[in-house]
Chain A
Amino acid sequence: QVQLQESGPGLVKPSQTLSLTCTVSGGSISSGGYYWSWIRQHPGKGLEWIGYIYYSGSTYYNPSLKSRVTISVDTSKNQFSLKLSSVTAADTAVYYCARVGSSSGYYYEFQHWGQGTLVTVSS
């Protein structure tokens, strides 16, 4: 059973870059067949898709965040990462990583999730 675990600083200062890593166990990112995604949830609010990456490095980003987001993959470590630049208090949220599958060729089924990590943006 695949498991995902987010890691990274829980506190980031405004204007700095938020960096998180998701470590995957129970399955290999380089096997292909899945996209690997970041999703966030503002306190008490709904889910927001940030973007996702394939093992080859192909990425897709939410247009509203695209100018500040970079998702990368390290297949040697079986990890993928999120960088969000120029953060403000509005970026305070629980950040989840997830494995995205497809039964139809369209990747949108968030099948497995990490437990989430709260990142607070504050000075």
Chain B
Amino acid sequence: GENVEQHPSTLSVQEGDSAVIKCTYSDSASNYFPWYKQELGKRPQLIIDIRSNVGEKKDQRIAVTLNKTAKHFSLHITETQPEDSAVYFCAAAYYMYSGGGADGLTFGKGTHLIIQP
């Protein structure tokens, strides 16, 4: 099965600086790579995702890059703000676009991002 490794487990950055979280995956068949943000006591929420037919995707201050050859993908947050403090999870899955859905996401263990004022 798929295995997703995520680093670092804790990341502390100064407000306004950039943060980068990295993940590697093991199954070369995986083609869907989402990132979830979980605030304390809340549900995980999707913040950005990327599919294997693109190498980079941006949404305002967040971006994700994918290197299929090396089997790794990264989350980049620029101009960090206090509300970015949370736990971030990467995940991977093989999704059948012809139908049938996904057999569930395999998640990394999470990165606790701390934004220092």
- The finding on whether chains A and B are genuine partners in a shared complex, rather than unrelated, reads no
- Chain A residues close to B by CB (< 8 Å): none
